[in-house]
């Protein structure tokens, strides 16, 4: 797979939303189909940069089911690449819709200790302000739906900053 897919999946992830009258319906459909095609083509060997690209692509409020392909693609990565890639996308995860960030963080916890440890180690190299914001995001999701199960609580960003 070419390195250009990382750029293209981020671009295609900006899915056309209902009420967007500036984008023709055939372009909206083409972008949705291409996004799913790109996500489905992920083998899981694209490394942490591939994970970060997928996370960065989750920008639309309404994905009309397309992001299920992205979530499936994230599950194909080795656990350590998943954790490291999500941490490397710290700025992006802070800007995607709340449900998107919750699902991504949940996927890290579900992938097991290797993913969690890789995330926790890699997040230490990120900007201190981003780390604080990620901490707040994790705490928000722990108090809400996505990380509310006991198995997903108090594992990301341990020890607490």
How does pLDDT run across 36-62, given as a tens digit for each residue? 999 999 999 999 999 999 999 999 999
The answer to whether 89 touches 56, Cβ cutoff 8 Å, is yes
HEC profile of 29-94: HHHHHHHHHHHHCCCCCCHHHHHHHHHHHCCCCCCCCCHHHHHHHHHCCCHHHHHHHHHHCHHHHH
Distance CA 19, CA 141 (A): 29
Sign of CA dihedral 1, 39, 96, 151: negative
pLDDT the model gives residue 161: 42
Res 145: pLDDT: 86
Summarised one tens digit per residue, pLDDT across range 86-96 is 999 999 999 99
Specify the residue for token string 């970060």: 52
Per-residue model confidence (pLDDT) at position 25: 86
CA distance 141 to 109: 12
Per-residue pLDDT tens digits for 100-137: 999 999 999 999 999 999 999 999 999 999 999 999 99
Question: How confident is residue 19, by pLDDT bands cut at 50, 70 and 90?
Answer: confident
Backbone angles phi and psi of 105, in degrees to 5: -65, -40
- pLDDT at residue number 160: 44
| C-alpha to C-alpha distance for 23 and 49, rounded to whole angstroms | 30
Q: What percent of the chain has pLDDT over 90?
A: 76
Task: Indicate yes or no: pTM above 0.85.
Answer: yes
Residue 24 CB contacts under 8 Å (≥ 6 apart), including other chains = none
């Amino acid at each position: 797979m070419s390195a250009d897919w990382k750029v293209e999946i981020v671009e295609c992830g900006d899915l056309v939303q209902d009420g967007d009258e500036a984008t023709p319906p055939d372009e909206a459909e083409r972008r949705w189909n291409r996004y799913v095609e790109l996500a489905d083509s992920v083998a899981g060997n694209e490394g942490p940069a591939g994970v970060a690209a997928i996370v960065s692509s989750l920008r639309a409020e309404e994905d009309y089911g397309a992001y299920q392909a992205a979530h499936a693609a994230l599950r194909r990565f080795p656990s350590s690449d998943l954790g490291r890639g999500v941490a490397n996308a710290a700025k992006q995860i802070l800007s995607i819709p709340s449900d998107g960030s919750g699902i991504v963080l949940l996927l890290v916890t579900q992938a097991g200790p290797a993913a969690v440890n890789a995330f926790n180690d890699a997040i230490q190299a990120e900007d201190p302000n981003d780390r604080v914001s990620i901490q707040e995001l994790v705490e928000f999701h722990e108090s809400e739906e996505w990380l509310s199960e006991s198995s997903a609580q108090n594992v990301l960003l341990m020890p607490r900053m």
